[in-house]
Structure 1
Amino acid sequence: MIRASLRRLCRVKEVDPNDEDTRLSRCLNTCDLVVLGVGSTLGAGVYVVAGSVAKADSGPAIVLSFLIAAVASILAGLCYAEFGARAPKTGSAYLYTYVTAGELLAFVTGWSLLISYSIGTSSVAKTWSTTFDMLIGGPIRKWSVDNVPMNSHSLAEYPDFFSVALVVILTGLLCLGVKESALVGKVFTSINMAVLIFVMVGGVLKGDRKNWSVNPDEVLAAANSTAQLYLKKGLGAGGFMPFGWTGVFSGAATCFYAFIGFECIATSGEEVKNPQKAIPVSIVSSLLICLLMYLGVSGSLTALMPYYLLDERSPLPVAFDHVGWPVATDAVAAGSLCALSTSLLGAMFPMPRVVWAMAEDGLLFGFLRNVNERTKTPLVATVLSGFIAATMALLFNLKVLVDLMSIGALLAYTVVAACVVVLRYKPDRIASYEVSGGGAEEADTEGDVGVRKKNSLSATVRWLLLRPDKEPTPRSGFAVVICTAILVALALLFSVVAVTVKHAAWTPAFLSGVAAVSVVVTAVVWRQPQNKTKLSFKVPLVPFMPLVSMMINTYLMIQLLTGPYLHYATCMCIGLLIYLSYGFRHSVQGKLDKLNGCQLDGRGDQI
C-alpha cells in the first residue's frame, strides 16, 4: 500500500504539444509576450537596485554585475524556453514539473510559485503607493499614521488603502480579458522604455568618464576631516572595480533578482497564438532587451555621478540634480511609476493562471477552474488572487517576507533546469516510463533482462560510461533520473558548505571532492543517448548548461538562509495539507490512470 501511494504521488501528466484545445482565449502574439516579459522584469530594479548595488558592492563595475546576473537568468530562461516548446500549456514551472517529475513535486513547485506571486504582487503594490506618496510630499503616510496606526511587529505601520485600491483596479483589468491587459501593459512599458532611453542619452551627454576611475587619494585630499570619515567607507580601492571581483559577484547576486519576472510568459501557454515558437522567442528576447536596458542605465548612472555619492533610495533623480539637469527628475518619476505599474501587472498576471492550471488538474478546489464565457479568463482564480494580494498589502509588513519571492523563483528555476535534463534523455514512449521508478521495471523487457540481472558494480560502470545504449531506453532514462537527483543533492551540499562554513580549514578539500563527484556524475549523464524529438527550440549544450543553471540557482537560494524560512515552511505545510486532503483524491491524472487501466493494486503492481 505504501508503494502504491508513493507511485500515485509520482504520477506524471502527459501533454500533447499539438493539442490546441483550451477554454482560454488564444489572442496573444510574440510581441505581446515580449512586452509582458519586459514589463514584468524591467521594473523597480532599474530605478533602485542599480544605485544601491553600485554604491555598496560594485562601483562602476555594476555593468559586469548585471552581465553576470543576466547570464544566470538567461540560462534559466533557455530551460523555460525549451519547455515552452515541449508543453505549450498554462502552468509554467508547475506544468513542466508535472510532466517530468510527478504530481507531488509539481504541487510543491506550483504552491511555491503562488507564494512568490502573492508576496511579489503585494510588495510591488506597496512600493507603488510609497513612491507616489513621496512624489506628492507624503500626505498619505502622514494621515494614515495619525488616524489609523497599527502598532504590531508583524503588521505594517498603517493599513495601506491606496495599494489595495491599486490591486483592485488591476484585478478588474485582468478580469476584462488578457488582450485588454496586454494593451495597458504596452502603454506603460513604452513610456518606461522611453524614459530609460532618455536616461541613457543623458548619461552620454552629461556623464563624465572620470567617474569610472575615481582616485581615492584625490577625493580624500579634497574633503574635510568629517567628510573623510564618511568617504573612506564607500570609496574602496577606487578605479573601475573599487571593491574587486568580490564586490562584482556580490553585486551580481543582488542584480539577479532584478531579472526575476520573465517566467510569467510561460504561464500564458494557452492564451498564445503558435505558443511553441512564440514562447521561446519571447523569453529570450525579453531577457536580452532587459539586459541592454540594465547595462545602459547602470553605466549612465555611474557616469553621471561618482558611485560613492549615489543615493540608494532614488539614485537617478539625485544623479540628474548632481549634473544640473533637474528637469529630468519629473521624467524619471513618471518612468518609475510606469515601471512599477507594469511590474505589478506582470506579478498579478501569472498567479491566477497557475491557480487555474492546478484546479484544472484537480489539485486545487474545483470552483477555481471556472472560466468566464465572454472574456475567456479564469475569473474566480483572478478575483481570489487579487483578494489575497490586496489583504497582504493592506495589513502586513512585507519587508521580512520579500525574500520568499526569490526562494520561490529560484526553486522553480532549479526544478525546471533538472527537468530539462530528465526529459532530454527520456525515451519517446513516455507512457511506458515514469520518473518514479517505472523505468527500472520497464528495463526488464526485451534485451534489458540480461543487463538487469548482472549485479556486478563494474559491469554497471562499464555500461554507464563505456557502452551506453545507442538510443534512449527506459534503462538509460532512469539512469539519468538518478544522476540528476544526485546532482541536485550535490549542488545543495556544495552550496550549504560554501555559504555557511567557507572559512573552515577543511572546506576547500571538501568542496573539491564534491565538485569531482559532480563531474563524474555529469559525465555519466553526458554519455547517455538523447531523445531525438524535434522541437522549435532546444537548450544547447545539454546537460552542461542546465546543470550550471541549477548550480547557480541553488547557490543563490542558500544565500537566503538568513531569510524567513520558517514562514516559507509554514506556507508549504498549509499547501501540503490541501494536497493530501483534497488534491491527492481529486487528481484528474489519477482518474485518467484508472480509466486507462493503470490502477495499482496494494503491492504497487499494475492491474
Structure 2
Amino acid sequence: MADRRADTLMDCKRFCSQLIRRKVDLPSDTTCSSGPHLARCLTVVDLVALGVGSTLGAGVYVLAGAVARDNTGPAIVVSFFIAAVTSILAGVCYAEFGARAPGAGSAYLYSYLTVGEFLAFVTGWTLILSYVIGASSVARAWSANFDNMIGGAIKDFSERALPMNVPGLSKHPDFFAALVILIITAVLCVGVRESAIVSKVFTAVNVLVLACVIVSSFIKGDLKNWRLGEDDISNISKEFDINQTVVAGVGGFFPFGVHGILQGAATCFYAFVGFDCIATTGEEVKNPQRAIPMAIIVSLLICFVAYFGVSAALTLLMPYFLLDVDSPLPTAFQYVGWDHVRYLIAIGALCALTSSLLGSIFPLPRIVYAMADDGLLFRWLANISPRFHTPLYATVISGIIGAIMAFLFDLIALVDLMSIGTLLSYSLVALAVLILRYQPQLIQQPGTKEPLSDLTDDGLSARVLIHPSPYPTRSSSKIVNILIAFVCFDVVILCCFLTYGSSQIFSLSPAVFTAFILFFVLFVIAIILIWFQPQSMEPLSFKVPLVPLFPVLSIFVNTYLMVILSLETWIHFSVWMLIGFTIYFFYGMLHSSERSTSSKADLPHDEETGTDLLALDQ
C-alpha cells in the first residue's frame, strides 16, 4: 500500500513537472541551419508599418466619435492619452522580450521560457482565437465598407439569394469578406517581403489621409466647441431638432467628468491593440534585438499621435453630442461644409482596413508555426516552404479558418473573445519580465569579472529579504517568485472589488472598505519588497524602466479589463479552452520537444556547453 501511494505521488509530481517544464533552447539563427527556413528580410521600417497598420485600423475612423459623444466629450484626448500610457506599459514589456528572445511566437515563446509549457500553450491557444476572430471581423468590416460605397449591392444580393436564419450565424453569408481573407493569405504565402511591401503602401496611404484630416480640422475647427455651456447645448439641440432627452453632460471640456474619462480610456485602450504582431516576426527580422523594441515603441507613438489628432479634430469641427456613431468624420466635415472630404476618408478607411487585416492575419500562422515546431500542435504545421520561406501550411490553414469564420458567423457576439487572448498575453509577458529580471545569472557575462551569483546561495531567511545580496541568487529569486504569485492573486482580488463592489467601497461600507484597504496595503508592501531585491545586470539593447512598477501596473490594468468582461464571453472562452486542453493533453504533452530535454533536468548543469542567453535557472 505504501509503495502504491509512493508511486501515485511520484506520478503526480512527474505530471506537474511536465506542465511547468520550460523551453531550454532559444530559436537559433535559421539562416545558418540546413533545410528551409524563415527569411530574415524585414527592417525597422517594415515592422513599424506592420505595427501601425495592424493598430491604426478602422477604429480611428469610428471609435473616436462614439467615445467622444457618449463618454468623454472633448476630453477624449485625455482618454486616449491614458490609454496610450497603459498600452506603452505592455509595449515596453514586449520590447524587452524582443531584445531577449527574438523568435517566432511572441507571448507564447516568452511564456514558454519563463512560466512553463502549460501556460505557454494557454497563451498560444488564446492568441490563435484572438487573431482568427480579429481577422474575420476586420474582413467583414472591409466588405461592409466597400458594399456601402457601391450602394449595398452585395448585401442585397446575398440576403435575397442565400438567407440564413440560424442562431449564432450571420443573416447572410459574406462571400466578399471570405474572398478578401483568401487574397491576403495568398500574399502572405508568397513571401514576407512582398507582404511587407503591401503593408507599407496601405499604411502610408492611411497615415497620409489621417494627416490631411487633422490639418483640415485645425483650419475649419472652432475652439468654442470645447467650451460649450448648458445653454449652448440646449440652443444647438433645438436648432438641429434633437430630442432633449439626449444626455450631453454639463458641457465644457469635461462634460462627463472624471468617470467618463476613465470609462472612455478603457474603451480607447483596445484601439492600441495590435502592436504585439511585431513580436511574432523575431525569426524574420534583420538585427531583431534592436529592431523589435524600436519598432514597438515607434508604432505606439505614431498611433497615439494619430488617435489624439483625430479625436481633437472631431470635437473641434462640431459639438461632441452631434457626432455620428457610425461615420463621425464624414458627418463632421459635412457639418462645416466640406462634404467632398468624405471620398478621401472612404479611401483612407479601406486602406486602414486592408493594412489592419494584413496585420491580423500575419501573426496567426507564426503562432501556429511556433507551437507546431515545439510539438504542442501537429508538427506538419511547422513545415517551411523551400521556395517562399514562409510557414506555408500554417498560413493556408489559418487563412481557410478565418475565411470560414468571416463567411458564416455573426462575429459581433464573439469580438470580446479577442480581448481575453490579447489581455492574457499582455499580462503573461509582463509577468515574464518580472520573473527574468530577478533570475540569477547562471554564466559569467563575457568581458566582466562579475562572480557567478548562483554559486552563493544564502538560504531563505529574513536577512535575505531585508538585506539581499548585490546580485540575484536562488534565494532572492525564490522570494521574488513567491511575492509575484501573491501580487497576481492580490490583483485579481482588487480588480473584483473594483468591478463588483465599487458601490460599497465608494459609499464607505465598513466591511468592504476595510477588506479593500487591507488587500491594497498588502499589494503595496509586496511591490516594495520586490523592489529591494537585486536585479540581473545582464546587458540588453532595451530594458523596461522602473521594474517592478511598470510590469505590475500592466498586469493590473489588463486583469481589470478581463474581469469586467461578461459571463457569456467567459463561457465561450471556456469552450475554446476545452478544445485546446484536449489537444494538449492527448497530443502536445506527449510530442513536446522539451519532453526529452526535461528528462535530463536532474543532471548537473554543464557550464562549458551552455550559453543560456536568458539566464534561466533550470
Instruction: Please indicate the TM-score interval, normalised by the length of the shorter structure.
Output: over 0.9
Instruction: Say yes or no: does 1:72 pair with 2:86.
Output: yes
Q: Where does structure 1 differ by over 6 angstroms across 4 or more consecutive aligned residues? A: none
Q: How does 1:16-35 map to 2 (within 5 A)?
A: 16=26, 19=29, 21=32, 23-35=37-49
Instruction: Say yes or no: does 1:143 pair with 2:157.
Output: yes
SS in 1 for 2:247: helix
Instruction: Say yes or no: does 1:507 pair with 2:517.
Output: no
**Residues 231 and 63 (structure 1), Cα distance of their counterparts in 2 relative to 1, 3 Å cut:** farther
Deviations along 1:476-511, whole A, 9 cap, x unmatched?
112211211111111111111210121122333222
SS in 2 for 1:313: coil
Structure 1: which amino acid aligns with 2:184?
L
Residue 18 of structure 1 and its aligned partner are, at CA, apart by 7.4
- Find the counterpart in structure 1 of residue 323 from structure 2: 310
| Distance (Å, rounded) in 1 between the aligned partners of 2:554 and 2:309 | 25
SS in 1 for 2:472: coil
- Find the counterpart in structure 1 of residue 124 from structure 2: 110
Q: How does 1:5-404 map to 2 (within 5 A)?
A: 5-16=15-26, 19=29, 21=32, 23-221=37-235, 223-224=237-238, 227=241, 230-404=243-417
- Find the counterpart in structure 2 of residue 463 from structure 1: 464
The worse-fitting range, judged by mean Cα deviation, of 49-58 and 520-529 is: 520-529
- Find the counterpart in structure 2 of residue 536 from structure 1: 541
SS in 1 for 2:372: helix
Provide structure 2 residue ranges, at least 5 long, that are not aligned to the other structure: 1-10, 445-452, 605-618
Structure 2: which amino acid aligns with 1:382?
T
| Distance (Å, rounded) in 1 between the aligned partners of 2:229 and 2:241 | 16
**Residues 318 and 563 (structure 1), Cα distance of their counterparts in 2 relative to 1, 3 Å cut:** farther
SS in 2 for 1:240: coil
| Distance (Å, rounded) in 1 between the aligned partners of 2:421 and 2:19 | 21
Deviations along 1:134-172, whole A, 9 cap, x unmatched?
111111111111110110221111011110000000000
Q: 1:420 aligns with which of 428, 433, 440?
A: 433
8 A contact 1:498–1:507 mirrored in 2: no
**Residues 371 and 16 (structure 1), Cα distance of their counterparts in 2 relative to 1, 3 Å cut:** closer
Residue 221 of structure 1 and its aligned partner are, at CA, apart by 3.9
Structure 2: which amino acid aligns with 1:10?
I
The worse-fitting range, judged by mean Cα deviation, of 14-23 and 523-532 is: 14-23
Structure 2: which amino acid aligns with 1:99?
L
| Distance (Å, rounded) in 1 between the aligned partners of 2:290 and 2:129 | 29
Residue 334 of structure 1 and its aligned partner are, at CA, apart by 0.3
Residue 37 of structure 1 and its aligned partner are, at CA, apart by 0.3
SS in 1 for 2:69: helix
| Distance (Å, rounded) in 1 between the aligned partners of 2:298 and 2:239 | 50
Structure 2: which amino acid aligns with 1:250?
Q
8 A contact 1:400–1:563 mirrored in 2: no
- Find the counterpart in structure 2 of residue 605 from structure 1: none
Residue 593 of structure 1 and its aligned partner are, at CA, apart by 3.1
TM-score of the pair, normalised by structure 1: 0.92
Residue 418 of structure 1 and its aligned partner are, at CA, apart by 0.9
- Find the counterpart in structure 1 of residue 583 from structure 2: 578
8 A contact 1:17–1:85 mirrored in 2: no
**Residues 367 and 326 (structure 1), Cα distance of their counterparts in 2 relative to 1, 3 Å cut:** same
**Residues 446 and 256 (structure 1), Cα distance of their counterparts in 2 relative to 1, 3 Å cut:** closer
SS in 2 for 1:515: helix
| Distance (Å, rounded) in 1 between the aligned partners of 2:345 and 2:129 | 31
SS in 2 for 1:234: coil
8 A contact 1:264–1:346 mirrored in 2: yes
Structure 2: which amino acid aligns with 1:495?
C
Residue 462 of structure 1 and its aligned partner are, at CA, apart by 4.2
Instruction: Say yes or no: does 1:517 pair with 2:522.
Output: yes
- Provide the alpha-carbon RMSD of the alignment: 1.9
| Distance (Å, rounded) in 2 between the aligned partners of 1:256 and 1:134 | 28
Instruction: Say yes or no: does 1:474 pair with 2:474.
Output: yes
Deviations along 1:559-602, whole A, 9 cap, x unmatched?
11345111100001111110110110111011233367659xxx
**Residues 61 and 562 (structure 1), Cα distance of their counterparts in 2 relative to 1, 3 Å cut:** farther
| Distance (Å, rounded) in 1 between the aligned partners of 2:525 and 2:570 | 32
Aligned length: 577
- Find the counterpart in structure 2 of residue 486 from structure 1: 486
**Residues 136 and 226 (structure 1), Cα distance of their counterparts in 2 relative to 1, 3 Å cut:** closer
| Distance (Å, rounded) in 1 between the aligned partners of 2:389 and 2:303 | 30
| Distance (Å, rounded) in 2 between the aligned partners of 1:528 and 1:226 | 62
| Distance (Å, rounded) in 1 between the aligned partners of 2:467 and 2:60 | 51
8 A contact 1:128–1:340 mirrored in 2: yes
The worse-fitting range, judged by mean Cα deviation, of 467-476 and 524-533 is: 467-476
**Residues 282 and 223 (structure 1), Cα distance of their counterparts in 2 relative to 1, 3 Å cut:** closer
8 A contact 1:86–1:276 mirrored in 2: yes
- Find the counterpart in structure 1 of residue 608 from structure 2: none
Q: 1:547 aligns with which of 539, 549, 552?
A: 552
| Distance (Å, rounded) in 2 between the aligned partners of 1:35 and 1:544 | 30
Residue 226 of structure 1 and its aligned partner are, at CA, apart by 9.9
Instruction: Say yes or no: does 1:409 pair with 2:422.
Output: yes
8 A contact 1:15–1:87 mirrored in 2: no
Structure 2: which amino acid aligns with 1:7?
S
**Residues 225 and 195 (structure 1), Cα distance of their counterparts in 2 relative to 1, 3 Å cut:** closer
- Find the counterpart in structure 2 of residue 436 from structure 1: none
Residue 463 of structure 1 and its aligned partner are, at CA, apart by 2.9
**Residues 222 and 276 (structure 1), Cα distance of their counterparts in 2 relative to 1, 3 Å cut:** closer
**Once the two structures are aligned, what percentage of the paired residues are identical?**
50
| Distance (Å, rounded) in 1 between the aligned partners of 2:74 and 2:238 | 25
Instruction: Say yes or no: does 1:4 pair with 2:28.
Output: no
Residue 268 of structure 1 and its aligned partner are, at CA, apart by 0.3
SS in 2 for 1:495: helix
8 A contact 2:226–2:253 mirrored in 1: yes
8 A contact 2:464–2:476 mirrored in 1: no
Structure 1: which amino acid aligns with 2:191?
G
The worse-fitting range, judged by mean Cα deviation, of 488-497 and 80-89 is: 488-497
| Distance (Å, rounded) in 1 between the aligned partners of 2:360 and 2:401 | 13
**Residues 348 and 220 (structure 1), Cα distance of their counterparts in 2 relative to 1, 3 Å cut:** same
Residue 461 of structure 1 and its aligned partner are, at CA, apart by 3.7
